[in-house]
Structure 1
Amino acid sequence: MEAVVLAAEAKTGLRPLRRTDLLRGRVQRTSRERQGREAQMQAIEMELTAVQVQETETRQQIDQQRTLVSELVAEYREKQRPERPYSTLGRARHKLGVLERRQAQWVKKAPKLEEQFARRQEQLAVCQAQESQLQRRLEQFEADNRANRCPIQADFRLDAGFGVKENVAQLIEMGYEVYTKPYADWLTPRLKRQAAGRSDWTRVGKNAEMIAWKAATLHDFPYPLDVALERFWVGDKQKHATLLHFGTDPVTTDLPAWFKRYNARQTIEAGIKEGKGVFEMHHLKVRSAPGLYLQEQFAVFAANFVRWAAHWLATQCPQFPSAWQDTAQPRVKEQVKVGAHTSAWVYWQEQGCLLRFTNASVFAGRSLELERHWAVQLPLPFAESSCFGHL
């Protein structure tokens, strides 16, 4: 995500002011966390050292006590003295048992402490790496702000697949207004528990309701977020989803607008799906960089051209297929995948061209009449500039 955003900023030459105040606070919190983990490791290390010393001393005491017991056993046999619980031999055996049980406790405790120490060491290494990364990011962002003479305001609307915690936090630190859904279920279950029993749900769509929390503090996220729980029905089954927002927009005061604004990105999703499925951008036919760029540009042109053509045909051809007449929502897939591969007769006449679908086609009886108008495209500065003129 960071690489994509930085590439976009480099290409446009524009970026918002970085939120260095927020990032600086995060660095300070991470530093305190690192210090706390270091203190925990020192305490565990001291306890482990003490256990190892106790284990060594106890082992030596056991060896000495076993020698004493052996000597007393030999002495009692030689003198044919009976062994009683409170005799010297009985007390020696009892002390040996105490030492052996104590030694067993030390033996069990040491590996647990070693495992705990190793786990804390890994956590400390992660924390140290994060602190170093955040410190470098802070220094870079401070330099970015000093060099940013014309900051902009910009929004990011992310698919849930990109809504991992670190991506969202980084976009916030980079200065963007963020709209997204959380990745997986790291937040939805707890919001469902918080919303249990509440009745102040707001209808935001035909089949959806929402409830929201403004600037909610989450224990596993570095910054407060506007969060909303959405519930909707698929048949008889109720489902839930979560929306996240960070920025200046007062989204919690108008939940329908929040819902509509985020879900408007479905137009982008539909365009991506259309590019892959209809205009064959899913399976690329070329491998060279110029070829890939041309194929991408032609796919974008084709998407626009089909819509322009659909509008033009709807106004020019009285026998246009009825399913294509809604130019606000043209059936692009049907026109490209079906219409372009349907058998038809082509008649060239003096006044133009007549295309009549055959009786065996799905559009039997329909025809398209194209008048003989010639269009000329003047040269354009392809892939160089959007500013040009004609003489």
Structure 2
Amino acid sequence: MLFNPSNTATRQFNAATDISALVNDEMLKDSAFHPNLGGVTKGGMANHYPMTIMSLQALGASDENIRDFRASWPRYRSKITDDLRLRDKGVVTKENWSDYLGQANFLPDFQRVFFDGLQATDDQNAYIMSALDKLQYALPMGLFHPLIRVSFAMMHGDKGLIADALAYWAIRYEDLYKRMLPPRTDFTNISVSAEDNWATLHAAKPELSFRGGSLNVCERLCSEPALQDIAVAENFFITEENLELKIQEIGDRAIGLYLFEPALTTLHGVTAFQALVDITQTVLGDSDRFRPLLAELWQRYWIWLTALYIEKGVPEALPSVVEESRSDVDAFAWEDIASAIVKVPEVHAIKMVFSCKWLFENLDANPRYKAAAINVLSQHINVKPVRLG
């Protein structure tokens, strides 16, 4: 959280003990910079920097690797107060903050409100989930970057970083869904798989009624009642009871769609999936009482991913690792993939490999995750890409 005259006496940065002093210092300094520079000055997306620094640390990068990346960082960043002249207006409060969602000029207000709320609570996860309950309608905004920032901030643990991430989500807020999701009425059915849900969609062969960039199309489709009814249907549903199973199924769809068409949107489908899994596991590790809200978040993610599936042409099948390549994938050590990617100064490559490795180790040892990481690496160094079928 930004240091300013009103909070220097109380704002104490909590350095993570499992992170190097250099990375802690970089994360602290980043709080002075605007998280959504592209949306303010049209000059770049500054939020990539802290997310990549955290990814590098998790992948085992040395301080020298971190410095090399910092030296190669091409984006301009603007300081919230010195460059953009944004100040805490004292207008946004803990009672009214949801009335100011989507208003970027209140960024310092949101930082204060969320930081004070985190400081005052004895249950940090409960506070975060109460905020996400109101923010969930904007879940995919900015290709899920606010969600990813929240995940990384929770990994680090500093309350100021978590407040910064929630404030970033608040200023990016836009209701993409336009309504509450359709309720299930028949509770005697067992849900079909995510794969079968998309097979039904493929058979229907829906056509887009509008054109545009992949990002814009997906955001527009999220509010379509027909898509919502298909994605969260009577025969496919995500509930607090089947949450873990559906998360694994959804992850298989997300990584498969990326392998079908490696692109910016499909890559963020995977990195956002990993962030939501991380938040889910962290919250459930503390208490089961937020399962209904987590199910709602996953429903909203699934609607967006299904929109992306439609935008990519509803392919009949998604790629898998062919049998003759499976042994090569198994033999490629994650440590070697990680040590190579930390030397590549490309933010999306680093973040994608981090997410794939994290998912493989913490959710599901799906060979598609490792295959995707190897193929990302092959775009930057002389590594043979995995053959897919």
Same fold (TM > 0.5): no
TM normalised by structure 2 equals 0.20
Q: Return the structure number with greater relative CO, CA threshold 8 A, min gap 6.
A: 2
More helix by share: 2
